[in-house]
Amino acid sequence: MFASPSFGKDSEAPEKQLSLANCIEIALKNASSAKKAENNFKLQGADVLRSYGSFLPRISASAGYSPYTLSRTYSAVNNPVSDINKTTLRTVDLTLSTSLNLFNGFSDYASLQSSLSKEHAAEYNLGRALQSIVYDVTQSYFQVLLDRELYEISRENLLLAQDQLTLTERQFNVGLKSMTDRFQQQADTEQSRLSVIKAETRMNRSLLELIRRLRIDPQTKITIIPDPDELKVPVVAKPDIDSLLTVALQQRLDLKSKSLETNAAQWQIRSARAAWYPSIDLNFSLSSGGLEYLNHEYLYPPLSEQLRNTVGYSAGINLSWTIFDRFQTRYSVSAAKINHLNQQLDYEDLKNNIAIDLRQAAGEYASAFDQIATATVSFTAARSAFDAVKRKYELGAASFVELSAARATLFNAHSNLSQATYNLALQKNILDFTTGKIATQP
């Protein structure tokens, strides 16, 4: 009649504790973009098998059985009046044929080379899709950590404001502070509370974006547990752009894929030109058949014996050559050439974009590296200044405006330090993604 005590616990949403490695593993398993790229890779593998099959003979078999056939014909044998002759019979026909193409303008060879290039390109596309997933999840993961730390900083600032409000009210009660100082401190406390609400909203939004990228149950409660080495400051402050560009041109999987797609488009030109050449096929067929009259006493052997004894063979070479196809081949060749030119343009554009993106990423990484040192010095100075102004305010030697400005400076300096720390991790991730060095395996 009554729910068991464990009912409420079972109905709660599941909770997961995730690190960056866990998030990447889940995203790689659930991401639809990776599944689509893998399916396309499998399809290209099937296309390669089809291209190999073009070099093999085509074999077909046919069989026909007619249990009853009626035919009517006129017959005039020694009779001026024609009579209708009715014939009923049973027939069986068996045919086995094969055809092997000997020459078709190297179309099969060109198609095979094009399919092989497309298969390797699809494999590189799959690898780049996995790298994109790792990059996207890493960005979202660090954004959650940053927003969570900014939320904690906002709460710490609120606690400072609340403690200061308590002290101000006590000083007001004993006549050490004016009504204006009390109201100003109340307004400052509520402003800090508003900052906490906004920071919490940003944190929850970032957490939902991470869940969206993980493609897990939206009701799942997740707790991020960062690894201490994730925010380790790298040693290199200013990377060498030339060496990074050389690495990127060698490792970027999408650039390799585009190069192979360009090569495949070039082979498609040769495949389209094959229609200008003759086609030579080797044909071979084997057939047998038999019939049995149902309304005449003809001395025919049984059908099984007829099938064994009437086996026939035929072999031949067939040559076909299209003299004029109304410019269809010319159009196919032109379309293949245009496709090859477009692929070359895409390849060059991608190379230029990689160089530009890499320079931008390297510059922003170097800037993020320098920001940490500046933010650290600023935070240390702001902390010392706030402590000094706070002591003076408590002794009545400083005004509320000075205290509020010092606390705002400390809050901004602390926030800037956290943003600079996580910004360096984000920029390092961007630099690795642009260079093509993101690992998709643990």
For residue range 293-345, list pLDDT tens digits in order: 887 767 788 888 888 899 999 999 999 999 999 999 999 999 999 999 999 99
Task: Give the residue ranges of the chain where pLDDT is below 50.
Answer: 1-10
Pair (306, 370) in one structural domain: no
Domain contains 426: yes
Q: What is residue 236's predicted lDDT score, i.e. its pLDDT?
A: 66
Pair (110, 220) in one structural domain: yes
111 CB burial (10 A radius; 0-12, 13-18, 19+): buried
Distance CA 169, CA 178 (A): 9
Q: Which domain, by its residues, includes 90?
A: 59-75+83-102+281-320
Pair (198, 264) in one structural domain: yes
What is the CATH number for 271? 1.20.1600.10
Q: What is residue 15's predicted lDDT score, i.e. its pLDDT?
A: 78
* Number of domains the chain contains: 2
Q: What is residue 75's predicted lDDT score, i.e. its pLDDT?
A: 66
The three-state secondary structure class of 252 is coil
Pair (108, 239) in one structural domain: yes
Pair (291, 419) in one structural domain: no
Pair (149, 34) in one structural domain: yes
Distances (CA, A) of 23 to 18, 136, 148, 415: 6, 11, 17, 26
Annotate 163-215 with three-state secondary structure: HHHHHHHHHHHCCCCCHHHHHHHHHHHHHHHHHHHHHHHHHHHHHHHHHHHHC
Pair (165, 217) in one structural domain: yes
Pair (135, 259) in one structural domain: yes
Q: What is residue 172's predicted lDDT score, i.e. its pLDDT?
A: 81
Distance CA 233, CA 215 (A): 31
Which among 261, 294, 320 is the end of a domain?
320
Pair (285, 359) in one structural domain: no
Domain contains 125: yes
Domain contains 6: no
